Structure 1
């Protein structure tokens, strides 16, 4: 892959492109074991976060699967090897739309109960995630995994602050798709400020124990994110 092309791709997309090349050339075939997360991270000079994201996408579209010996190539479809096919795009728009419908339902309820049940420790944790996202934006890490992770941490801490183990377990099961969905909704730099302000608004309503408004602001935040997703696709 040319250097200029690499610069236009996110880390996980570079890893996906490498897998596509390996499958196209036959270097990786059905039944073959794939390198470990640690080895792939070292190979590409990245953390394990983008490696996991790439592997999740490959698992969702059925190319890799877990086995007793680790992850292996499960299926190689000739159509998937077409030059214009991008593995990252195989997480479909419909999947993302469905995810946001579930998120609005779960997270608006979580914000409601978080406002009622929050402690000072909870507030410190939420503020820490907001500060990390702000710092990452100011330091020029926009579109980077730091911003994505800080945003996800904030949302997960709202879930945890609701202090409902059933809700938290359901949310944990969405973790893989949530990580991938951040790349669809946290791309354009000019939208990160509004995302940060949304997080701050939700935080202050939770701090004020205003359950109805905390829920409303969370719903508005996720509705805006969903609208942005639809505009991009």
Structure 2
């Protein structure tokens, strides 16, 4: 793992390059092939490498450098252990997405893909989970209009957390049809502002959009909890 890091940092190894075969690499590093395989498995889990069997240019072990995979895995573990709460995800989203909108450039955006996503979300027969998966993807793509690859990487890493968070809260809503219609309208407004260079307006719309969903689901959660409490027999 240290060797891969040094090779990438020095420029001797680049994204898309193949690593040497196991025997050669084990001899170069002076480690057993079992130790080498363990390290390669870890690097693949972290998104640094991709390994495939067979023949051809895409076979073998290739440097992929997908840091969002490692960040997403780490974030999922933090959420699972309750060291990071959904409220923390909300605050980070607001920071990242508002910054990206304020620094967006219409010339840098690939607007065809988010437009396609919103067209798909107009299908009223979509399951809630599919709608919210597309919703999370839309927000990731919208962040890419800012000239900051780290912001995009962090947003990509948050994608799963955003999806899980919004899906769990959607289950509290009494009228998903009304909520999804509002979300679709808000997405269209955000996209229009971004693609026409109104970054400050887009940032305001994003904050209203994100906070609005959180507040709506929180209100219904509170109402549900009160109803449950009221239905309990007195001690």
Give 1:180 deviation, angstroms: 0.6
Match of 1:163 in 2: 147
TM-score after normalising by structure 1: 0.54
The runs of 5 or more residues in structure 1 that have no matched partner are 1-55, 63-90
Verify the 8 A CA contact 1:185 1:228 in the aligned structure 2: no
Match of 2:200 in 1: 212
SS of residue in 1 equivalent to 2:168? helix
Q: Distance in 2 between matches of 1:112 and 1:150?
A: 23
Cα offsets for 1:124-164 (capped at 9, x unmatched): 112111111112xx2x2242x22112111110101122231
Q: Distance in 1 between matches of 2:107 and 2:130?
A: 26
Match of 1:26 in 2: none
Q: How does 1:128-143 map to 2 (within 5 A)?
A: 128-135=116-123, 138=124, 140-143=125-128
Match of 1:61 in 2: 80
Q: Distance in 2 between matches of 1:203 and 1:219?
A: 14
The runs of 5 or more residues in structure 2 that have no matched partner are 1-74, 222-235
Q: Distance in 1 between matches of 2:185 and 2:122?
A: 10
Match of 1:154 in 2: 138
Q: For residues 95 and 105 of structure 1, do their structure 2 counterparts lie closer, same or farther at Cα, with a shift above 3 Å needed?
A: same
Verify the 8 A CA contact 1:97 1:226 in the aligned structure 2: no
Q: Distance in 1 between matches of 2:76 and 2:200?
A: 36
Verify the 8 A CA contact 2:194 2:202 in the aligned structure 1: yes
Point out 4+ residue stretches in structure 1 off by more than 4 angstroms: 56-60
- Alignment pair present for 1:229 and 2:186: no
Q: For residues 163 and 129 of structure 1, do their structure 2 counterparts lie closer, same or farther at Cα, with a shift above 3 Å needed?
A: farther
RMSD: 2.6
Q: Distance in 1 between matches of 2:201 and 2:79?
A: 36
Give 1:170 deviation, angstroms: 2.1
Verify the 8 A CA contact 1:159 1:167 in the aligned structure 2: yes
Match of 2:98 in 1: 108
Verify the 8 A CA contact 2:190 2:206 in the aligned structure 1: yes
Verify the 8 A CA contact 2:132 2:166 in the aligned structure 1: yes
SS of residue in 2 equivalent to 1:194? helix
Q: Distance in 1 between matches of 2:153 and 2:193?
A: 24
Q: For residues 118 and 199 of structure 1, do their structure 2 counterparts lie closer, same or farther at Cα, with a shift above 3 Å needed?
A: farther
Q: Distance in 2 between matches of 1:148 and 1:157?
A: 14
Which structure has the larger Rg over C-alpha atoms? 2
Q: For residues 108 and 224 of structure 1, do their structure 2 counterparts lie closer, same or farther at Cα, with a shift above 3 Å needed?
A: same
Q: Give 2:161's match in structure 1, choosing from 161, 171, 177.
A: 177
Q: For residues 185 and 163 of structure 1, do their structure 2 counterparts lie closer, same or farther at Cα, with a shift above 3 Å needed?
A: farther
Q: Distance in 2 between matches of 1:131 and 1:61?
A: 33
